[in-house]
Structure 1
Amino acid sequence: MKSSIIVFRTCLFVSFVFLSAFLNAQRFDGGIKAGIVASEVSGDELAGPNKLGFFAGVYTNREISEYSKFQLELSYISKGSRGIPSENQPRNYKLNLGYAETSLFFIHNLKKYSSQSYIQKMSAEVGLSFGVLVNYFESQDGFEIDLSQNRPFYGYEGNIWAGFYLPINDNLNFNLRYSNSITPIRKHQSGIVVWYNWGQYHSLWTFGFEYTF
């Protein structure tokens, strides 16, 4: 866990360097964002996404052209997996993972690509994030599972993102995103590793709102 703390501090330092650069720029904006998360974990033999969570954070962005900008974010996000007992799936399984993340997005307005008014208002985005695990809880049928010795969660993860923005007014935007981790969160139960699959991975959707000051 000590290595995770070191990595997180390094991540924060880099984020503050970027933040300083944004704040020293001639034109920048910033604000807060929050919303819900629908997530699942590959390799848990459960259909999904069934796990509901939340995210909240702050951001700042800087325009680099008439239609494009970079956005830096610091946030907390809860991910995981959920198995709801049913006729075909008897497990009552819960996996909650909380991450502190720093993210960098490239956001591009779609105005020049369409004459449709609703598309002209939208923006598309792609990005990368780095997260540090700050808490976790795993249980099955009401009993806590502790795999910290045999199959521990990794202390950090990398993710790719893609999404869309739809403005509601001058200060408020609706934001839809999809994300998939590019580094595993832990090993498979079988321990099998192949070149394209090193373990279990997150995939999730976020639905949120962003308010610019």
Structure 2
Amino acid sequence: MKQYCSIFLVLFCISSFSQSFNGGLISGIATSQVSGDNLGGYNKAGFLFGIYTQYPLSEISNLQLEINYIEKGSNNPKMIENNIPDISLSYIEIPLIFNYNQNEKMNFEFGIQSALLISSSDNDIIGPINPINSIEFKKYDTGLLLGMSYLLNQKIALNTRISNSILPMRKHAEGNTYLFNKGQYNTVLSFSLKFIII
């Protein structure tokens, strides 16, 4: 995680002095769910904002690095009926992305991301549950992402992205593990605007 932060800071500083780099701000919403929490659907909505920088690899591709604050987890709209707790998570997330420019307006992206957990809770109908009575969340979350961006004008692009943990962000409540299911995983569908500043 520290290596990602160092790389990002170097690239972002260089972007201020080189026309080869560009960068800007990111702002949007993240809808999410947690696989393995006995709930379904992207019912959790949270904030997403951060900064990014890009370095061109060719005329049709570039490498992008971001540092974002993002809220993830799950929401149970029927908690009164089924008494299943939901989850609130906040991360500082650093995606490393390869962008392919389909044309002047649209590009496709894929990459890997690493995230540092900064707050977490299970929630019942009253509010946050005492951590003593919850399964501990892992401090780091690692995932893969796919997405696309559409340039609305010279300064603003619309981005949509789906990402999923490749390692569990915590164990199942019972502690069980399976071949392709080692615990609970974050899945996020985000919608954001990229404001091009540099």
Greater mean deviation of Cα atoms: 50-59 or 189-198: 189-198
Alignment of 1:23-102 (within 5 A): 27-85=20-78, 89-91=81-83, 93-102=85-94
Counterparts of 1:86 and 1:151, CA distance in 2: 19
Supply the AA of the counterpart residue of 1:65. Answer: S
TM-score, length-normalised on structure 2?
A: 0.90
Identify the residue that residue 163 of structure 2 maps to in structure 1: 179
The offset of 1:17, in angstroms, is 4.0
- For the 8 Å contact 1:79–1:96, the answer to whether it is kept is yes
Which residues of structure 2 form unaligned runs of 5+?
none
Note if 1:210 corresponds to 2:194.
yes
Supply the AA of the counterpart residue of 1:134. Answer: I
TM-score, length-normalised on structure 1?
A: 0.84
Counterparts of 1:38 and 1:109, CA distance in 2: 26
Counterparts of 1:196 and 1:160, CA distance in 2: 16
SS at match of 2:147: strand
- For the 8 Å contact 1:29–1:60, the answer to whether it is kept is yes
Q: Deviations over 1:76-119 (max 9, x none)?
A: 000000111179x53364311000011111011112xxxxxxxx
Which residues of structure 1 form unaligned runs of 5+?
1-7, 112-119
Identity level (%): 32
SS at match of 1:83: coil
Counterparts of 1:69 and 1:11, CA distance in 2: 18
- 2:98 is aligned, of 76, 97, 106, to 106
- For the 8 Å contact 1:96–1:136, the answer to whether it is kept is yes
